[in-house]
Structure 1
Amino acid sequence: MGSLSNSSNMDSIDDTLESERSSSNSVSIPMSQCRSLQDIRRDNRENTVKSDSSIRFFPDQHVLDEGNERIRNINDAKEMIKQLNIGGKRLTSAKSQLKLSSTAYGVRMLSKDIFNTKVELQVENLLIVTKSQDRSLVYLTRELVEWLLINSPDITVYVEKILQGSEQFGAEDIYKDSRCKEQRIKYWDKEFVAQHDGFFDMIITLGGDGTVLFVSSIFQRHVPPVLSFSLGSLGFLANYQFERFREDLPKILDNKIKTNLRMRLECKVYRCHPPMVDSRTGEKVAVAELVMQRQILNELTIDRGPSPFISNLEVYGDNSLLTVAQADGIIIATPTGSTAYSLSAGGPLVYPSVNAVCVTPICPHTLSFRPIMLPDSMNIKIRVSQGSRATAWAAFDGKDRIELQKGDYITVQSSPYAFPTVESHSTEFIESISRSLNWNVRREQKSFTHMLSRKNQEKYVTDKEGEDDLHEGDHGEVVVLQAEDKDQAQKMIEERTLAEQKAEKDSVCANGGAAKTNFTV
């Protein structure tokens, strides 16, 4: 299985996250009982037994000075998590603003380091998802499987069950061509994936963004790293080229990789039963039954469906009414989904690592109802108003469409199961929106010299050459040395000036003193 680099002994924090989400029985504890990062480090220095180097999470060269409050190792991170959640108790009050700020900053730094951590893959079970409706992709799958059998003898390859017995795929021919004696080609279906949570070490997709969304739909819990080859019409999520898989796969399988932990949303659909009168209190009580639960990667869409009437949807945030959406519908999107339906409805582009939720109305009745971004820590609820003139319909990443009656509602919160995608390079998101959306692409100013007379064209050429001579030497990159204050900047300037003078003197000495150089500071 894939593991965090240099942290093979790291304890799982799934139980901690689950207990944090169980807020119904939470108990408030004062923030003053929690220690700051400085206190934690002081205790760590006083301990005679130091942490084992094999479980160090952040390398020493990645650590700044004490004043910057960086988390030094996994022990500090564990202590931080224990402070935030001790035995199911949650911090809901704070007596010291300083400790609260210190803890919040430490968590942000921990999150930053987690996103920058590289993963060392130990792939034994590899799953391939192919858009099997495309006949040409079946042959590409065959080519990929044959290469894996030859070059990765320890990997068992799982392909979709529909390819079993396929003449185009030809498993027996692959065994013969690759000279593989072991039966290392196996088959998967949705039931197999659901029954083997955490079984696969890596996923390779051959298709477009829709194929990646299909992977999210069948992996409703833990998802292994997903490597996507762009073989579809869109490529926001598929950033690897299949033509280079023979060069890229060895680098990924044999080295540590960086993954984008893309946030998913956990959506729960509740069916509201008719209210009943409580004989003891005389109050009307309605039972809301959980009828569906989904983890989504792109968006939850609630719309009016076939009804001619607009939807009337109540939007709540942490049990407080935010607004009543009177529109064709509403989209609750992740940062990954910000380039999909939400963008078409006027929503913003959001960087994948930003922890936020986009709420985008679809053709709202009021023009002032603009898209809004909410924090991922907020628990969102969308309820069909009792005063609505019709029902609503919900879809999860465009699938599993379900009708919502009056009073029914859907809760939305950040999912504990992220969707990790293998990063091809650090600017892949910017390049994908530039490639697919022509983001901020504009035509340069054209020259109008063709409209000049011959005499003025000759004069223009002469003036242009003089302008080029004037700016000669301005080309090339400039290395910027950043100074934090005026004194440091002056010191750096003096050091560079002295170094330049020394280099010029050495050059004169090397030429035998023939040249005379004027030094200007």
Structure 2
Amino acid sequence: MASIDQCDMVNGLSNERKKKTTQGKWVISRRRSCHGPKPVTKFGPKAKLVDDQSVEDCSIFSTCDPSSMMLGWKSEPRQVLIIKKPGDDDYLNRSFTQLAYWLVQEMNFLLYIEPATLSESGFDNEEEHENIRSKINIWEQEADVSSFSDRGLEASIDFIITLGGDGTLLYAASLFQHSCPPVIAYHIGSLGFLTCFKFPNYKQDLKSVVNGNGKLILRKRLECTLMLKTDNDCKLDDNKMIKSYTVLNELLIDRGSAQTLSNLDVYLNDRLITTVQGDGLIVSTPTGSTAYAAAAGGSMVHPSVPGILLTPVCPHSLSSRPVIVPSGVELKIILSQESRCGAFASFDGRNRYELRRGDGIRVMTSVYPVPCLTQDDQITDWFTSLGECLHWNVRQKQKPL
């Protein structure tokens, strides 16, 4: 286990505390705070905020201007990970090929891509692409993200380019369960709420990012830990923690194909606040507020707002309404012992697990956000996406009197 000094260097958090276990080892436990943990603002091996002090000064007595978050580099970036939407779409593959040649030949970058991208784009033909094939590295993710050691990839990638839609960005973020490099997301997909960049402008966009002129938005994530019951008379604190996932959108707990309603006990800082009886519960980030949570009747929240959203799915009560709790609290969602059926948990739509009575999930705000480049600024991009993708408040104007 890392020493206290090492933990301080890794986390750099003022709202973390150290306590000693009965074995004499030091571990880190989080202080409960309404304002949540301060984010780690070093992204990958080279990227950082231009002025880290602007984030460190954020507290209950001060407010950070979201438009002031600018991307900076400790040294010139040279290694980039390209995540392409899977499939044999001709335009997507041509765009990838065009981007890869430009990055290698004009910008002198070293590329990392997946095996599927290699074959779909035709780059597995070394004779046809011999000019740049030596500058392309192939990597393959392990099947289980929770066991995937992203330290090697994290130490190699300076920034990420995604070609696709929102699902491509979510997948890219899932590869980095800890510190995530900056992401520039190009809209070559179906929806593109989170992907604000247009591919025809990629040269200008990427040159601006490499030169340190990019604006950032830190998209908060949730750290979700599975807790399995250890005995028949299990209490809340006796559960065994087995797996942990960091999600960008949401944690979903649902009743699956069962014909009866599920009962989910919701604890906030170890205090039972409610029991959700219905089809399930969505625990989402502000980024995920415009996804499944919005479809279930939750409020849409700007990604820079610190908070955790709780949205019941088809609750069996007219008074059961969505709520937003402070980002610093610890949530525990336990499948009640009185529940008539089991439940299933999924993390950003992946890694679906069955929960039995007494099992649950602990949820806290992660200290590792996803730094995403913005086209204009945080406010303009978000409301543009609301209008273009969700047609928010689009109606025929009333005629004047």
AA in 2 matched with 1:194: D
Identify the match of residue 344 of structure 2 among 393, 398, 409.
393
1:255 aligned onto 2:255: no
Contact 2:252 2:346 in 1 (8 A): yes
Question: In the superposition, relative to structure 1, how do residues 21 and 343 fare at CA in structure 2: closer, same or farther (>3 Å)?
Answer: farther
Q: How does 1:11-50 map to 2 (within 5 A)?
A: 14-17=10-13, 20=16
Which SS does the other structure have where 1:328 is aligned? Answer: strand
- Gap runs ≥5 in structure 2: 1-7, 22-27, 30-48, 143-147
Listed one character per residue, the Cα deviations across residues 59-112 of structure 1 (whole Å, up to 9, x for unaligned) are xxxxxxxxxxxxxx94x987x79xxxxxxxxxxxxxxxxxxxxx731xx44xx1
Root mean square deviation of aligned Cα? 3.2
Higher strand share: 2
Cα deviation for residue 258 of structure 1 reads: 1.8
Deviates more, 1:386-395 or 1:14-23: 14-23
1:116 corresponding residue in structure 2: 68
Cα deviation for residue 18 of structure 1 reads: 8.5
Q: TM-score, normalised by structure 1?
A: 0.63
Question: In the superposition, relative to structure 1, how do residues 316 and 166 fare at CA in structure 2: closer, same or farther (>3 Å)?
Answer: closer
In the alignment, the residues of structure 1 paired with residue 331 and residue 367 of structure 2 have an alpha-carbon distance, to the nearest angstrom, of 16
Question: In the superposition, relative to structure 1, how do residues 16 and 286 fare at CA in structure 2: closer, same or farther (>3 Å)?
Answer: closer
Who wins on radius of gyration, i.e. which is larger?
Answer: 1
2:150 corresponding residue in structure 1: 194
Listed one character per residue, the Cα deviations across residues 359-390 of structure 1 (whole Å, up to 9, x for unaligned) are 00001100111100001011111011111111
2:392 corresponding residue in structure 1: 439
2:36 corresponding residue in structure 1: none
2:310 corresponding residue in structure 1: 359
Q: TM-score, normalised by structure 2?
A: 0.81
In the alignment, the residues of structure 1 paired with residue 66 and residue 381 of structure 2 have an alpha-carbon distance, to the nearest angstrom, of 19
In the alignment, the residues of structure 1 paired with residue 137 and residue 220 of structure 2 have an alpha-carbon distance, to the nearest angstrom, of 30
Cα deviation for residue 409 of structure 1 reads: 1.2
1:156 corresponding residue in structure 2: 110
**Greater RCO (Cα-Cα under 8 Å, separation 6 or more):** 2
Cα deviation for residue 222 of structure 1 reads: 1.1
Q: Report how many aligned residue pairs link the two structures.
A: 360
2:255 corresponding residue in structure 1: 304
Cα deviation for residue 244 of structure 1 reads: 1.4
Question: In the superposition, relative to structure 1, how do residues 173 and 19 fare at CA in structure 2: closer, same or farther (>3 Å)?
Answer: farther
In the alignment, the residues of structure 2 paired with residue 22 and residue 373 of structure 1 have an alpha-carbon distance, to the nearest angstrom, of 29
1:372 corresponding residue in structure 2: 323
Cα deviation for residue 21 of structure 1 reads: 5.7
Contact 1:276 1:285 in 2 (8 A): no
AA in 2 matched with 1:134: D
Cα deviation for residue 165 of structure 1 reads: 5.4
Contact 1:223 1:417 in 2 (8 A): yes
Listed one character per residue, the Cα deviations across residues 275-301 of structure 1 (whole Å, up to 9, x for unaligned) are 479xxxxxx898421122100000001
Question: In the superposition, relative to structure 1, how do residues 276 and 237 fare at CA in structure 2: closer, same or farther (>3 Å)?
Answer: closer
Higher helix share: 1
1:145 corresponding residue in structure 2: 100
1:331 corresponding residue in structure 2: 282
Which SS does the other structure have where 1:393 is aligned? Answer: strand
In the alignment, the residues of structure 1 paired with residue 334 and residue 112 of structure 2 have an alpha-carbon distance, to the nearest angstrom, of 41
Contact 1:125 1:199 in 2 (8 A): yes
1:104 aligned onto 2:60: yes
Which SS does the other structure have where 1:168 is aligned? Answer: coil
Contact 1:361 1:369 in 2 (8 A): yes
In the alignment, the residues of structure 1 paired with residue 313 and residue 279 of structure 2 have an alpha-carbon distance, to the nearest angstrom, of 5
Contact 2:94 2:121 in 1 (8 A): no
Q: How does 1:5-84 map to 2 (within 5 A)?
A: 14-17=10-13, 20=16, 74=53
- Gap runs ≥5 in structure 1: 1-11, 28-55, 59-72, 82-102, 278-283, 449-521
In the alignment, the residues of structure 1 paired with residue 231 and residue 277 of structure 2 have an alpha-carbon distance, to the nearest angstrom, of 24
Question: In the superposition, relative to structure 1, how do residues 342 and 57 fare at CA in structure 2: closer, same or farther (>3 Å)?
Answer: closer
Listed one character per residue, the Cα deviations across residues 228-277 of structure 1 (whole Å, up to 9, x for unaligned) are 00011111110000121122221222233221110000000110121479
In the alignment, the residues of structure 2 paired with residue 385 and residue 362 of structure 1 have an alpha-carbon distance, to the nearest angstrom, of 16
Question: In the superposition, relative to structure 1, how do residues 169 and 135 fare at CA in structure 2: closer, same or farther (>3 Å)?
Answer: farther
Which SS does the other structure have where 2:104 is aligned? Answer: helix
In the alignment, the residues of structure 2 paired with residue 239 and residue 57 of structure 1 have an alpha-carbon distance, to the nearest angstrom, of 22
Listed one character per residue, the Cα deviations across residues 204-237 of structure 1 (whole Å, up to 9, x for unaligned) are 0000000011112221111100110001111111
In the alignment, the residues of structure 1 paired with residue 18 and residue 193 of structure 2 have an alpha-carbon distance, to the nearest angstrom, of 34
In the alignment, the residues of structure 1 paired with residue 334 and residue 389 of structure 2 have an alpha-carbon distance, to the nearest angstrom, of 35
Cα deviation for residue 147 of structure 1 reads: 1.0
Which SS does the other structure have where 2:214 is aligned? Answer: strand
1:416 aligned onto 2:367: yes
Which SS does the other structure have where 2:281 is aligned? Answer: strand
2:5 corresponding residue in structure 1: none
Which SS does the other structure have where 1:411 is aligned? Answer: strand
Cα deviation for residue 417 of structure 1 reads: 1.1
Contact 1:300 1:395 in 2 (8 A): yes
In the alignment, the residues of structure 1 paired with residue 264 and residue 238 of structure 2 have an alpha-carbon distance, to the nearest angstrom, of 20
Listed one character per residue, the Cα deviations across residues 481-515 of structure 1 (whole Å, up to 9, x for unaligned) are xxxxxxxxxxxxxxxxxxxxxxxxxxxxxxxxxxx
1:208 aligned onto 2:165: yes
Listed one character per residue, the Cα deviations across residues 22-80 of structure 1 (whole Å, up to 9, x for unaligned) are 578799xxxxxxxxxxxxxxxxxxxxxxxxxxxx976xxxxxxxxxxxxxx94x987x7
Which SS does the other structure have where 1:247 is aligned? Answer: helix
In the alignment, the residues of structure 2 paired with residue 193 and residue 246 of structure 1 have an alpha-carbon distance, to the nearest angstrom, of 32
1:169 aligned onto 2:123: yes
Which SS does the other structure have where 2:101 is aligned? Answer: helix
In the alignment, the residues of structure 2 paired with residue 348 and residue 287 of structure 1 have an alpha-carbon distance, to the nearest angstrom, of 34
